[in-house]
Amino acid sequence: MNRLEGKTALITGAASGIGRAQALLFAREGAAVVAADLNGDGAEQVVSEIEAAGGIGLAVKMDVSDNESVRAAVETAVSRFGRIDILSNTAGAFDQYRQTLDTPRELWDKLIAVNLTSLYLVTNAALPHDHRVANFHSTEVPLDIRPQHSDTDLMRV
Protein backbone atom coordinates (compact mmCIF):
# COMPACT_ATOMS: atom_id res chain seq x y z
CA MET A 1 0.00 0.00 0.00
CA ASN A 2 3.06 2.26 0.04
CA ARG A 3 2.18 3.77 3.42
CA LEU A 4 5.90 4.47 4.01
CA GLU A 5 6.72 6.00 0.63
CA GLY A 6 9.50 8.57 0.96
CA LYS A 7 10.48 7.42 4.45
CA THR A 8 13.79 5.96 5.53
CA ALA A 9 13.69 3.20 8.13
CA LEU A 10 16.76 2.13 10.11
CA ILE A 11 16.20 -1.33 11.55
CA THR A 12 18.70 -2.94 13.90
CA GLY A 13 18.76 -6.73 14.12
CA ALA A 14 17.52 -6.81 10.53
CA ALA A 15 19.40 -9.97 9.58
CA SER A 16 16.92 -12.31 11.23
CA GLY A 17 13.70 -12.80 13.15
CA ILE A 18 11.58 -9.76 13.99
CA GLY A 19 14.01 -7.26 12.44
CA ARG A 20 14.14 -9.16 9.17
CA ALA A 21 10.35 -9.33 9.02
CA GLN A 22 10.14 -5.59 9.68
CA ALA A 23 12.73 -4.85 7.01
CA LEU A 24 10.82 -6.80 4.35
CA LEU A 25 7.46 -5.32 5.40
CA PHE A 26 8.65 -1.72 5.58
CA ALA A 27 10.30 -2.07 2.16
CA ARG A 28 7.07 -3.46 0.72
CA GLU A 29 5.35 -0.38 2.13
CA GLY A 30 7.73 1.85 0.16
CA ALA A 31 10.36 2.77 2.76
CA ALA A 32 14.05 2.83 1.97
CA VAL A 33 15.32 0.30 4.50
CA VAL A 34 18.69 0.42 6.23
CA ALA A 35 19.23 -3.15 7.41
CA ALA A 36 21.71 -2.94 10.30
CA ASP A 37 23.13 -5.98 12.04
CA LEU A 38 26.26 -7.41 13.58
CA ASN A 39 25.73 -10.16 11.02
CA GLY A 40 26.70 -8.15 7.95
CA ASP A 41 26.22 -11.07 5.55
CA GLY A 42 22.73 -11.64 6.89
CA ALA A 43 21.89 -7.96 6.45
CA GLU A 44 23.18 -8.14 2.85
CA GLN A 45 20.96 -11.13 2.23
CA VAL A 46 17.88 -9.25 3.46
CA VAL A 47 18.72 -6.28 1.24
CA SER A 48 19.09 -8.65 -1.71
CA GLU A 49 15.56 -9.89 -1.03
CA ILE A 50 14.27 -6.32 -0.76
CA GLU A 51 15.90 -5.34 -4.05
CA ALA A 52 14.72 -8.49 -5.80
CA ALA A 53 11.18 -7.45 -4.88
CA GLY A 54 11.75 -3.96 -6.32
CA GLY A 55 12.44 -2.19 -3.04
CA ILE A 56 15.26 0.04 -1.82
CA GLY A 57 17.71 -1.14 0.81
CA LEU A 58 21.15 -0.66 2.25
CA ALA A 59 22.97 -3.16 4.46
CA VAL A 60 25.22 -1.82 7.19
CA LYS A 61 27.26 -3.79 9.68
CA MET A 62 26.59 -2.38 13.14
CA ASP A 63 27.37 -3.52 16.67
CA VAL A 64 24.59 -1.83 18.63
CA SER A 65 26.61 -2.05 21.84
CA ASP A 66 29.54 -0.11 20.39
CA ASN A 67 29.14 3.65 20.03
CA GLU A 68 31.74 4.05 17.28
CA SER A 69 30.20 1.26 15.23
CA VAL A 70 26.72 2.75 15.71
CA ARG A 71 27.84 6.26 14.71
CA ALA A 72 29.69 5.00 11.62
CA ALA A 73 26.70 2.97 10.44
CA VAL A 74 24.27 5.86 10.98
CA GLU A 75 26.59 8.18 9.03
CA THR A 76 26.67 5.65 6.17
CA ALA A 77 22.88 5.49 6.18
CA VAL A 78 22.42 9.25 6.27
CA SER A 79 24.96 9.87 3.54
CA ARG A 80 22.96 7.51 1.31
CA PHE A 81 19.39 8.56 2.16
CA GLY A 82 19.80 11.96 3.84
CA ARG A 83 17.50 11.29 6.79
CA ILE A 84 16.07 8.73 9.17
CA ASP A 85 12.34 8.77 9.79
CA ILE A 86 11.78 5.42 11.46
CA LEU A 87 14.07 3.71 13.92
CA SER A 88 13.48 0.16 15.02
CA ASN A 89 15.72 -0.92 17.90
CA THR A 90 15.21 -4.64 17.38
CA ALA A 91 18.70 -6.12 17.71
CA GLY A 92 19.02 -8.27 20.77
CA ALA A 93 21.03 -11.13 22.14
CA PHE A 94 19.83 -13.74 24.56
CA ASP A 95 21.90 -16.63 25.82
CA GLN A 96 19.68 -18.78 28.02
CA TYR A 97 17.92 -18.49 31.36
CA ARG A 98 20.52 -18.94 34.08
CA GLN A 99 20.64 -18.78 37.82
CA THR A 100 22.33 -15.65 39.14
CA LEU A 101 25.22 -17.69 40.54
CA ASP A 102 25.77 -19.20 37.08
CA THR A 103 25.90 -15.82 35.35
CA PRO A 104 29.42 -14.45 34.94
CA ARG A 105 29.72 -10.69 35.23
CA GLU A 106 31.04 -10.49 31.63
CA LEU A 107 27.86 -12.10 30.30
CA TRP A 108 25.67 -9.80 32.40
CA ASP A 109 27.52 -6.73 31.09
CA LYS A 110 27.24 -7.96 27.48
CA LEU A 111 23.50 -8.59 27.73
CA ILE A 112 22.88 -5.18 29.29
CA ALA A 113 24.98 -3.51 26.58
CA VAL A 114 23.32 -5.28 23.65
CA ASN A 115 19.74 -5.26 24.91
CA LEU A 116 19.55 -2.00 26.87
CA THR A 117 22.42 0.45 26.38
CA SER A 118 22.03 -0.06 22.63
CA LEU A 119 18.69 1.80 22.72
CA TYR A 120 20.45 4.84 24.13
CA LEU A 121 23.37 4.65 21.67
CA VAL A 122 21.37 4.08 18.48
CA THR A 123 18.62 6.57 19.33
CA ASN A 124 21.15 9.26 20.18
CA ALA A 125 23.01 8.68 16.93
CA ALA A 126 19.86 8.66 14.78
CA LEU A 127 17.84 11.50 16.30
CA PRO A 128 19.96 14.45 15.11
CA HIS A 129 19.18 13.42 11.53
CA ASP A 130 15.48 14.04 11.94
CA HIS A 131 13.32 15.17 14.81
CA ARG A 132 10.36 12.97 14.01
CA VAL A 133 11.81 9.52 14.47
CA ALA A 134 9.29 6.83 15.31
CA ASN A 135 11.11 4.51 17.67
CA PHE A 136 10.07 0.91 18.21
CA HIS A 137 11.44 -1.25 20.95
CA SER A 138 10.35 -4.13 23.12
CA THR A 139 8.14 -3.54 26.14
CA GLU A 140 10.71 -5.66 27.95
CA VAL A 141 12.66 -2.43 28.21
CA PRO A 142 10.65 -0.17 30.53
CA LEU A 143 12.19 3.09 29.42
CA ASP A 144 10.78 6.18 27.81
CA ILE A 145 13.80 7.34 25.85
CA ARG A 146 12.28 10.43 24.25
CA PRO A 147 14.75 13.28 24.45
CA GLN A 148 13.16 16.47 25.75
CA HIS A 149 14.08 18.58 22.74
CA SER A 150 12.31 16.29 20.34
CA ASP A 151 8.74 15.57 19.38
CA THR A 152 9.76 11.98 18.74
CA ASP A 153 6.96 9.45 18.74
CA LEU A 154 7.54 6.41 20.88
CA MET A 155 5.65 3.26 20.00
CA ARG A 156 5.79 0.21 22.21
CA VAL A 157 5.54 -3.08 20.36
Ligand X SMILES: NC(=O)c1ccc[n+]([C@@H]2O[C@H](COP(=O)([O-])OP(=O)(O)OC[C@H]3O[C@@H](n4cnc5c(N)ncnc54)[C@H](O)[C@@H]3O)[C@@H](O)[C@H]2O)c1
Q: Which residues bind ligand X (CB under 6 A)?
A: 12-13, 15-19, 37-39, 42, 62-65, 90-94, 114-115, 138, 140
Report the candidate in 126, 138, 114, 128 with the shortest Cα–Cα distance to residue 22: 138
Which residue number is nearest to ligand X in terms of Cβ?
92
Closest separation between CB of residue 137 and ligand X, Å?
9
Closest separation between CB of residue 99 and ligand X, Å?
19
Cβ closer to ligand X: 8 or 45? 45
Q: How far apart are CA 109 and CA 107, in angstroms?
A: 5
Cβ closer to ligand X: 52 or 94? 94
Q: How far apart are CA 82 and CA 91, in angstroms?
A: 23
Q: What is the DSSP letter of 116?
A: I
Cβ closer to ligand X: 39 or 150? 39
Which SS3 state, helix, strand or coil, does residue 35 take?
Answer: strand
What is the identity of the amino acid at 117? T
